[in-house]
């Protein structure tokens, strides 16, 4: 699992929450990145999930294009807004 957010503070908070509730923080990679310029290769993931974030992004179309770029052919991009 890879968790991405632009805010390092939010990522630190998320890592702390995962560590408190699941105890397996080492299985989740926390990456600080811009949704419109993801630091991953093409087709790097089976699933990309974006929840309640698209509306707050300066360029939602660019973020969606990046999600499509990093999901494998036949994979799933899910958006909950």
pLDDT for 21 equals 66
Share above pLDDT 90 across residues of the chain, in percent, rounded to a whole number: 83
Question: Is the pLDDT assigned to residue 13 strictly greater than 80?
Answer: yes
Among 11-15, 36-40, 65-69, where is mean pLDDT lowest?
11-15
Q: What is the pTM of this model?
A: 0.86
Per-residue pLDDT tens for 43-77? Answer: 999 999 999 999 999 999 999 999 999 999 999 99
| CB 46 within 8 Å of CB 76 | yes
| CB 2 within 8 Å of CB 11 | no
Count of beta carbons in the 10 Å neighbourhood of residue 41: 9
């Amino acid at each position: 699992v890879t968790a991405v957010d632009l805010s390092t503070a939010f990522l630190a908070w998320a890592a702390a929450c995962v560590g408190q509730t699941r105890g397996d923080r080492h299985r989740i990679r926390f990456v600080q990145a811009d949704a419109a310029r993801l630091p991953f290769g093409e087709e790097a993931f089976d699933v990309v999930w974006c929840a309640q974030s698209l509306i707050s992004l300066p360029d939602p179309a660019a973020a969606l294009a990046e999600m499509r770029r990093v999901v494998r052919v036949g994979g799933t991009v899910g958006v909950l807004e």
